[in-house]
Amino acid sequence: MTDLAKGHIAALSKQSDLQGFHPINLGTGNGTSVLELVAAFEQVSGLTIKKLFGPRRPGDVAQLLAVAEKANTVLGWHAELGIIEMCRDSWAWV
């Protein structure tokens, strides 16, 4: 079962304890660059992904990282898989 599915099951199991809307990040807490992500998808798919490099667009952030501590403390959930496994599961779903 994928980490994402386990995270959603953990949230559903806590639904009666939580009232209202609670945004919770399901992630590893580790950053992945766009190029690392593309390389991981190339590895699991066996395809070569065309890349186009250009200047940063206005409004693009230099770094974005989801903090997943709330998932651990509130749901008792943490990511168990790495980026290769996550891309493999995503590719299998597609």
Alpha helices in 1-94 (DSSP H): 3-13, 34-45, 69-70, 83-93
Examine residue 24 and state whether it is found in any structural domain, yes or no. yes
Examine residue 7 and state whether it is found in any structural domain, yes or no. yes
Examine residue 57 and state whether it is found in any structural domain, yes or no. no
Domain ranges, residue 27: 3-52+62-93
Task: Report the chain (94 residues): mean pLDDT per 10 consecutive residues.
Answer: 91 87 88 93 97 92 86 94 92 90
Q: pTM of the predicted model, to two decimals?
A: 0.77
3-state secondary structure of 94: coil
Task: Say how many domains are in the chain.
Answer: 1
